[in-house]
Every structure is written in C-alpha cells, then in structure tokens.
Chains A and B, each alone.
Chain A
Amino acid sequence: MRRRIGIDVGGTNTDAVLLEDDRVLHAVKTPTTADVLTGVRLALQDVARAMGAEGVQAVMIGTTHFVNAVVQRRDLAPVGALRIGLPAAKSLPPFCDWPEDLAGLVRGQVHMVEGGLDYDGRPIMPLDERAVAAAARAMRAAGIACVAVSSIFSPLAPAMEERAAEILRAEMPGAAITLSHDLGRIGLLERENVALLNACLVPLARDTVHAFEEALRQAGIAAPLYITQNDGTVIRAELAARFPVLSFASGPTNSMRGAAFLTGLGDALVVDVGGTTSDIGALKSGFPREANAVVRIGGVRTLFRMPDLLSIGLGGGSHVAQEGGRIRIGPRSVGFRLPELARVFGGPQLTTSDIAVRAGLLALGDALRVADISDAFAQATLAEAARMLEESADRMKTDAAEVPLLAVGGGAFLVPDRLPGVSEVLRPAHAAVANAVGAAIAQVSGEADQVFQGMARAEAMAEAERIARDRAAEAGADAATLALVDIEDLPIAYLPGGALRVRARVVGEIAAR
C-alpha cells in the first residue's frame, strides 16, 4: 500500500492531501501565509491528524516560493559568474541580457576564462585552471558564497565545468556552486541565465527546505521529504535545495498531473481557468509536454525543463465588452476583486462570471442584477469564450487527432461540454486540490539532451536513453521501474556528418531507502 502526503503552496492557497494508493483519504485547503511556512505547518498538522498511526512513506511539497522571489526581486543572493569559453563569446558576458534592476541585485562578480568546447567535443582552448583559481580567490575576498559556472557546449561533455567546480571548492570552501549543464540545454546565454538564477536562490532554497523539514518534525511525520519539479517529478529535498529553479513551474505542472490522475487519463489537454487567465498544457503519458522554446522568468530569457503552457486572457473575472458588433473578452480582469466589481455583486464591471450567472451556469451573487442582459448576448459571449478555448486547445495539439480535455480551476464553468477537436470534456472530482494530488503522485526522472555525431539514428537514441536512465538512478529512482516517456530527435542545419540532437526522458518510482 502506498501512502503519501502531497502539498502545493500556491499564491493564494496551500493545499494538502493524504493519498492512499489511488484514493484521496483527506484533503485540506488553508490560506498561504506571507512566510509560506506557517501555512505549510497548519496544513501538515491537519493531515497528520488524519494520517493516524500508520504514517506515510513520503511527503511531497510543491512551491512557487522561489520563482516568486525572482519576480518580486527579494531574498536573492549576489552571485559570482564564471564563464569558461574565452576567447569565444567574449563580447557578450554573463548578465548581458538581464533586466538592469535584477542584474543590479544578483551580479556579484563576472569572470571569463579560457576553455569550452566546439560542437564536436574538441576543446576551443584548454581550461585555464589558474584563471579559475584566481577568480575563486577574488570572489572569496568579496564575500561571494554563490557561484554559477557555464562552459561553451557543456551539455555535450561537462568535464570542464566539473573540473572548475573542484577548483572552486578547494579555493572557496562552503560556496554553493551551480553548474549550467546540470540544468540547461544547448544555448549558452539561456543556460547560463538558468544557472545564475539558480545560484542566487540557493540560500533561500536551503532555508526553505530546512524549514519544511522542521515543519514535518513538528507534525510528527518521519517520512522523507521530496520537492516537486517543473516536469512533474520529484527530487530529494537536499538535492532540491541545490536546484531551486527546477521547481519554478511546479504549480501548473502538479495541477495538470493531478487532473490526469483523478480522471485516469495519461494523454489529454488540461485547461486551468483562473480569474484572469486560462493556462493550457498538454499531457503525454501523464507528463506535461516540455517547452522547446525560450521562457522568460522575471524578464530573464531561459531554456530548461519547463512545461509548455499557453496562457490566454480568459478567466472568471475577465471583462466583457461589445466592440463594433463583436464581443471582446479580456485580457483585462477584475481578478481577486470580483466580489466588489462584478455586476452580480452590485459592481460596475460586466465579467464572464456575470454572463455565466445569467446563462444559469453558475450560482454567484444576485442573479437579478444581470437579468437585463439579453439571452442572445449571454450566449454570444459564451460562444466567444468557447472559440478562444477551441483555438488554444488546437494550438497545443501536435496533430489533428481528437483528444480529451480536462477542465480545472475556479473558472472552469466557461469550458463548454463540447468543443471541436476535443473528444470529451472531463471535470475531475477533487479538482480543487488537483495540484496537491499531483504532488503526491510524483515520480523520479532523468533526462539527456545531447548532440550525437557519426552514429546511426537508432544508436544515438539508445545512447541518449542510457544517459537518461543513469541520471534518474542518481536522482533516487528505482532502476527496475524506469520507463522511457519521451524521446525526440532534431536534425541540425549546417553541421556535417548527420549530426543529430536527441532528447530523452525516463521516469520511475522512488527507490526504497
């Protein structure tokens, strides 16, 4: 029997569930507190009472705490950037495309040294170890305790970043070192940006994970703690403290995976309709499809394991207006001020919620206040919302085949029961705590993303899978349970020898400890 606790710390609510195999035994929703931890402690204490003497095997926590710190520019540590790759890429140093306000907070020192690789794995220059040591001493002298190391083409072969880390550890004991190849993909600036963001969050991540562990202890729960990641899997808490960026998008990911679990569907689209936006993602074999494009975080361009999400300005609080005979919904929204601004509450603003009340889809406020709206107008507005959802759902599909759509979130009443291109619309039970459920069911993964040359396609794909399996086992997976969930190959223009970039990902159960 599998018993786990899943917790999701969102911007508004902290949700927790106790899951026994496929059943939700207990669920609780508490307001998220400013310090985050009080809310987690309250939720844990509540679940611990329901847990009884049997206990649980694991506790999984998903949190948006770290990404919020970047967006709100708080609790960020100064970072020393060490770029390996001179004389290449010299004119565009680390932080060169950051917003100035954020760079001002995070940029501690910038060092660039000789080294790096060409696309075929040959060194651009040998690693300048003395320059690395000199950079380390300069950073230590300035009191910098967080370092991000990036090397050209390090995803092909990480040896130079790893050697630099050894030197850094010897010269500046206790420093937190982030290596870009552990996190990012091909694309030096975007991968380096991920490493820099990660490095500036390590002290906050350590404190937060430590406080979570403390909260577990206070609630009398002895099980190991895992933190959920962007890709729908978990890593051990002590590892998570080293890689806070990997939890940036765990909120939407957990909600998608929770919805899939609650409906028993692995391949589906999920729409989470909030107050201001609808986020649409695609699940394949129960995992969110990853974005293969640049994602901006707090104004910084990044490229790493993030779910592919399409956000549109359609939510339960979206403004509704008529413009030249056409109905326009959003992107403006009354947001959390719905109870004062919406028409059904006597407010001045016509919103999608008012239309839903008029059409009898929703019981909210005073329906008499929207009785003046014509039925034709209400139906036309709902049709426009349906059109927006249909178009977005279609954009998230990879081919023309019909797929099921899972509707969650407070504004899910805007999703009609039938949509073109969608085989069926499902509204899962326990949808309100889908994200905590998603956290509770998480597994462990491993990924490879590499350029292969002089190899047949099948051979390159097998090699990528082998690397991914090794990494999953390192991250705490039970090797016997690992399964390939995603593999794709991308041919590369202008490279000779049939160069092929392969991305592979495997997932398995947490190994017993």
Chain B
Amino acid sequence: MREITLDEIEALAVGAWVLGTGGGGSPYLGLLNMRRLYAEGKRVQLMDPDELADDDMVAVVSNMGAPLVSQERLVDSETIGRAVTLMEDYLGKPFRAVMSVEIGGNNGVQPFLAAAETGKPVVDADAMGRAYPEAQMTSFAVGDLRPWPLSLVDPRGVEGIVAKVPSWKWMERLSRRMCVEVGSIASTCKAPRTGAEVKRWGILRTTTQAIALGQAIRRAQKEHRDPVQAILDQEKGLLLFRGKVADIARRTTEGFLRGTAKLDGLDEWRGHGFELAFQNEWAVGWLDGEARVMTPDLICVLDSVSGEAIGTEVLRYGQRVTVIALPAPPVFLSPRGLDFVGPRAFGYDLDFRSVFAGGAA
C-alpha cells in the first residue's frame, strides 16, 4: 500500500482518457474533485490486489449516466462516497477497499473520490481494463459472479438498492431505468466482490498502468518527443494507421452513440483508407475494407500531434489522427469472454482475431 500523489492522479486522468478507447466520459470533473480534496488535506492510498485477504469485501464503484448530463450536474465526491456507505448499511458489514468497474474515462478516477470520502484505500484493479458501454461487459460477468446487489445514490437523497436480479443483463436494465429516473446521472456501487474474486477475476494493476501511461504521455509532451510513440512503447501497442478524418456519421439508438468514421491515409498510409465503427467506444476497424482490429483489443484514436485521445463524440472532419491498438486483458480472449465483449456482442458478424496474434507485437 502506498500514498498516491496529486501528480499521479493528474497523470491517471490522462492515461484513463486514452484507455477510454473513445468513450467513458472525460475524467476532468473527477480530477477537479481530487484537486479540491487534496487541497483540503485528504490523501488516498493505492493497494495492490495481493494485499487483499480472500474474505475482504471490496466496493466496485462507478458513475452511471449521460456524459452530457454530468456537464450540468457535475461530479460529486460525496454521492459516490455515499453509494459505498449505503451498500455497507445494506450488507451490515464494512468494505476493506474500493475499486473501479472501468479504468477508462471518468470512471477511472471515481474510486479515488470514494476513497477520499470514506478513508478506504483504492485497489489497483478494475473489471474492464478500458471502457465499455454496458454493465455486463465486465470480467466479473465473464467469471459468472453474482450480479447483485447494487446501490444507487443521487444528491437529493434518493437512495436505491437493486436487491436481486437473475442476470447481468437484468442488472443493466433495472439500474439504467433508475438512473434515467433520477436525471440520467447517478453514483453507483455495483455488486460487492470478495478479495478472492478480485484476485481471480479482476483485471489487475490497471490503475498503475493508467498512471504510468499518463506519465509517459506528459513526459513526451514536455520533452517535445512524439507522444504517440511514447504510448506505443509504454503499452506495447501497435500503430495501425495514420491519416485524416474524411467522414464521420453519428446516431443515437437505444441510448447509445453509434456510428462510423472514415479516414484517408497520410504519410506511409497515403492511398489507403481506414474505417472505424463505434458504440460509445471504438469497436471495429477496417483497413482497405479488411477487418484489421476489433474489440476486445483496445482501439485508440489519438491526435497525431499532441497524442491526446479523441472521443467518439468529438471526432470531426479534417482532424489528423493516429489509430493504435493496445492488447486486451487475457480474460476477454476466452470463448466466454468473447461472448460478452467480442465483435458479435456489438452486432458485427466477425470471428475475433487479435491484431497481436502471430507475434506481430
């Protein structure tokens, strides 16, 4: 266990945004909360998963809802902290620590808000290794762990518990409904996990990974080195394409942002085309019409100059971008893992083939 500095949290916000793979919401509002909490003297401890006893209880937190609504209602450390203590009240026993359900985007920072409020450490792990749009797209669901109960909190004092559901899909349906009812933004504490479950099914040390990634990007920017290369070196990633956005089409269906982006190649990619499909996050990429990369491999679209990640909501015509792939957590590469987060889970009739297969990396 060690104390995390504010500088590491700043780096975490940068790294989490890249691991958001186009979605997950900007970590900016979470970061603002952490700056304030640290200015007030609060400090957060990061705990290695190996330090958990098998019967320790871990709170899995996330903010749920529409990114646009959080731009108005903002992000509050107290509600995420209350989601944790509400679950403790319901269970009648205390949590040893908190962790994130998804390291990508705003939720990568959320456990730090909960930790600063409750005085509990953050476990260095999550259940996605990135961002995914739906609650059942986690390593815990792949592990067939219990999906209930869930606590949900809104700043008005609305506090809800989903006591029991038959499946992860049902949990997604019910909790999404509650969330919409309180204004399409809510703080949640997902089904509690034991230390043994976290160690067996969690995606481990992703907080450290995101901090190191953010530090590498910030260092490269400061030293005027290529930040894209810094990301590839840090994460053992693959550069897939460099080009400019030639077309972008978005639509919302069933509460998700879906669409496609077409890129025209530049530099050594001149004359080639790349197409990307997304459901909140980037899902599949085709090079000259051939499927080149697909979920669960992480697809990141970066500003070619600054190396900063570009979200599916803000990508626009003419931007100079670089597409890279980062390796997926192994838990998602099993047949069962692919059922939850493979290309078919997003409606693409493709057999998963990792871009990292065949020693390409």
Interface presence of B239 (CB below 8 A):
no
The CA-CA distance from A293 to B314 in the complex, in Å, is 9
Is B180 positioned at the interface, with any CB of A under 8 Å from its CB?
Answer: yes
Of A25-33, A157-165, A396-404, the stretch lying at the interface with chain B is A396-404
Which of B36, B68, B184 is in CB contact (< 8 Å) with A91?
B36
A394 within 8 A of B: yes
Instruction: Among A90, A293, A394, point to the contact of B76 (Cβ < 8 A).
Output: A90
Instruction: Scan A78-93; emit 1 where CB is below 8 A from any B CB, else 0.
Output: 0000000101111110
Main secondary structure of the interface of A (DSSP, over half): loop
Q: How large is the interface on B (under 10, 10 to 19, 20 to 34, 35 or more residues)?
A: 35 or more
What's the minimum C-beta distance from B273 to chain A, rounded to whole angstroms?
Answer: 13
Question: Nearest-CB distance from A66 to chain B (Å)?
Answer: 26
Residues in chain A near residue B255, CB distance under 8 A: 493-496
In the bound complex, what is the Cα–Cα distance between A118 and B313 (angstroms)?
22
Contacts A188-B72, A491-B257, A493-B280 given; does A394 touch B66 at CB 8 Å: no
Looking at the complex, which one of B78, B252, B319 makes contact with A492 (CB distance below 8 Å)? Answer: B252
A85 to B32, CA, bound (A): 18
Whether the Cβ atoms of B71 and A494 lie closer than 8 Å is no
Does A88 lie within 8 Å of B74, measured CB to CB? yes
- Which residues 48-101 in A have Cβ within 8 Å of B in the complex? 85, 87-92, 96-97
Residue A124, interface by CB 8 Å = yes
Which secondary structure dominates chain B's binding surface? mixed
B155 CB within 8 Å of chain A? yes
Across-interface contacts of A493 in B (CB, < 8 A): 66-68, 252, 255-257, 280, 313
B90, CB-defined interface residue at 8 Å: no
Q: Check if A398 sits within 8 Å of B71, measured CB to CB.
A: no
Say yes or no: is A306 at the interface (Cβ < 8 Å to chain B). Answer: no
Complex contact A92–B251 (CB within 8 A): no
Query: CA–CA, A494 to B180, complex, Å?
Result: 9
Q: Mark B163-199, 1 if CB is under 8 A from A, else 0.
A: 0000000000000000010011000000000000000
Chain A residues contacting B319 (CB-CB under 8 Å) are 395
A83 to B71, CA, bound (A): 15
Total A-B residue pairs with C-beta atoms closer than 8 Å? 117
Contacts of A189 in B (CB 8 A): 29, 71, 74
Give the Cβ gap from B281 to chain A, nearest Cβ, in Å. Answer: 11
Complex contact B180–A496 (CB within 8 A)? yes
A88 to B313 Cα, complex, angstroms: 25
- A118 CB contacts on chain B under 8 angstroms: 69, 183-184
User: Which B residues, 281 to 334, have Cβ-Cβ distances below 8 Å to chain A?
Assistant: 313-314, 316-320
Interface centre among B32, B68, B256 (most CB of A within 10 A): B68
A90 touches B73 (CB 8 A): no
Output the nearest chain A residue to B319 by Cβ-Cβ distance. A395
Residues of chain A lying within 8 A (CB to CB) of residue B66 = 119, 492-495
Q: Is A299 an interface residue (CB 8 A)?
A: no
Contact between B318 and A395, CB atoms less than 8 A apart:
yes
Please indicate the chain B residues that have their CB under 8 angstroms from the CB of A395 in the complex: 244, 318-320
| A152–B73 touching, CB < 8 Å | yes
List of B residues within 8 angstroms of A492 by Cβ: 66, 68, 252
In the bound complex, CA of A26 to CA of B229 (Å): 56
A187 to B71 Cα, complex, angstroms: 5
Contact A186:B183 (CB < 8 A) given known A397-B317, A493-B313:
no
B69 touches A119 (CB 8 A): yes
Taken residue by residue from 116 to 138, chain A's Cβ proximity to chain B (1 for < 8 Å, 0 otherwise) reads as 00111000110000000000000
Given A92-B29, A186-B71, 15 further pairs, Cβ under 8 A:
A89-B72, A90-B155, A92-B76, A119-B69, A119-B183, A124-B156, A124-B183, A189-B74, A395-B244, A395-B320, A399-B247, A492-B68, A493-B68, A494-B256, A501-B68
Which residues of A approach B to under 8 Å, CB–CB? 85, 87-92, 96-97, 118-120, 124-125, 152-153, 186-189, 293, 391, 394-400, 491-496, 498-499, 501
Closest CB pairs A-B (n = 8): A494-B66, A491-B252, A493-B257, A118-B183, A89-B74, A395-B318, A87-B155, A91-B76
